[in-house]
Amino acid sequence: MNADPQAAGEGASSSRAKWLLTGFLLLLVAVFLALGTWQVQRLFWKLDLIARVESRVHADPVPAPAGAEWPAINSEKDEYRHVTATGLFQHDKTVLVQAVTERGAGFWVLTPLVLPDASTVVINRGFVPAEKRDPAARVASELAAGPVTVTGLLRLSEPVGGFLRANDPANDRWFSRDIAAIAAAKGLSTVAPYFIDADATPNPGGLPVGGLTVVAFRNSHLVYALTWYALAVMSLAGVYLVRKQRAA
């Protein structure tokens, strides 16, 4: 008896479809394994970064980078360095940057500090609640004269705005600590490309409140890695089921 040509054709077509499905599933296995391995590499990179930042935060303070060092400053090696700087505050050039902290909503008080070499570094002196935004409400700290020494953490400029809003220098409304924009708006020259988050040393009159820097890094790489590896296992299980069906 001759075989049914139609049935033979359908069998060959089904076989090709199963081979294609098997190949696709094997490709997914390879892709998911690669993505999982990449996330494991990112995990160890992030853990190393956290360890390095923690060592900087708790290290003894060192002089803030001088002008010759500014071009080489980057987040990889400099962010959150424990530094110190001495100079004179320019209170008349203070800007307030919108902030949300553990103390609630309010403003960061950023004041330029003129260093002995005539260069300037902007100091985030700390937080004030909205009802204390007027300098008259914190006159003790605003009128403090003479050289001051500030100790805190080196932070890099934030040029992209914040709170989903762009800075408005013309109206003196600030949503991020964009040092270049602040320097331009206040007519500052020779300004460091970073600012310093002052530590919790009390200011005269108790305001602004320093030491509120949040040092935290989102680290979900392990979850992502496990997710990709789980998808690889599921794809491999799919290969097994297809092969089992072919053998049946």
- Would you state the pLDDT for residue 240? 82
Average the pLDDT over each of 56-70, 110-124, 233-247 and give the range with the smallest value. Answer: 233-247
- Would you state the pLDDT for residue 175? 93
- Would you state the pLDDT for residue 107? 96
Q: 111 forms bridges with which residues in the sheet?
A: 123
- Would you state the pLDDT for residue 14? 67
Banded model confidence at residue 73, pLDDT cuts 50, 70, 90: very high
Per-residue b/e over 166-189, b at no fewer than 16 CB within 10 Å? ebeeeeeebbbbbbebbbebbebe
- Would you state the pLDDT for residue 88? 95
Q: How far apart are the first and last CA of the chain?
A: 24
For residues 198 and 141, the model is more confident at 198
Taking only the tens place, the pLDDT of each residue in 147-173 is 999 999 999 999 876 566 889 999 999
- Would you state the pLDDT for residue 2? 53
Region 184-205: mean pLDDT is 94
- Would you state the pLDDT for residue 13? 64
pLDDT exceeds cutoff 80 at 134 = yes
Region 6-18: mean pLDDT is 63
Region 58-71: mean pLDDT is 93
- Would you state the pLDDT for residue 243? 78
Does pTM surpass 0.75? no
Banded model confidence at residue 238, pLDDT cuts 50, 70, 90: confident
Share of the chain above pLDDT 90, in %: 50
For residues 204 and 97, the model is more confident at 97
Banded model confidence at residue 87, pLDDT cuts 50, 70, 90: very high
- Would you state the pLDDT for residue 68? 94
Taking only the tens place, the pLDDT of each residue in 14-59 is 677 778 888 888 899 999 999 999 888 878 777 776 677 777 878 8
